[in-house]
Amino acid sequence: MASYFTINISSPNTPGLRALQTRAALDELLGRLAEARDALPAEGLVPMFLKVAPDLADGEAEAITDCVVAHGLSGIIVSNTTVSRPALKSRFRDEAGGLSGAPLTGLSTMMLGRFAEIAQGRVTLIGVGGIGSGAEAYAKIRAGASAVQLYSALVFEGPGLVGRIKRELAERLRADGFRALGEAVGAN
């Protein structure tokens, strides 16, 4: 039982996985998934979302969006961890693998905005990457996310974080004159 499935082609910790973000590989993968989905009874269909990296090259976001739309996926989750080390001062900054949490916030929000610009409402976007406050969740929503996901901050702050983010988000929505969250989606 699931609310939706995530097709994660963006983990930098799995060798070669990010190569699936190229147009040809992605088209083949999503084509096969769409065939399998379409063979299911209609009442068993569960939305599928593609999770992408924030480290995309020029043109990749357009190709990814076109593939997602062409194969009838529900949306895109932007973004997974980054292989870049934006302003990281930690002694661990040179370690291999994906970087998550606060250092990812700006990069993931920028990439989310790029996908929103390209998608023009054709698919649902879920924002993820460095969300630890209502302000950061609100930034993702204003950039184009209809929903957000929490990971790193939830590990460090526990389940009470969700209630705090909801309160802070409601305050920001009211302050900007929005009556409902949907009114703020893509407001940037």
DSSP string over 87-117: T--STTTT-SS-B-SGGGHHHHHHHHHHHHH
d(CA 1, CA 12): 28
Cβ distance 54 to 80 under 8 Å?
A: yes
d(CA 23, CA 100): 26
Structure tokens at 23: 């147009």
Cβ distance 167 to 173 under 8 Å?
A: no
**Residue 111 C-alpha from the chain's centroid:** 9
Catalytic residue set: 11
**How many other CB atoms are found less than 10 A from the CB of residue 74?**
16
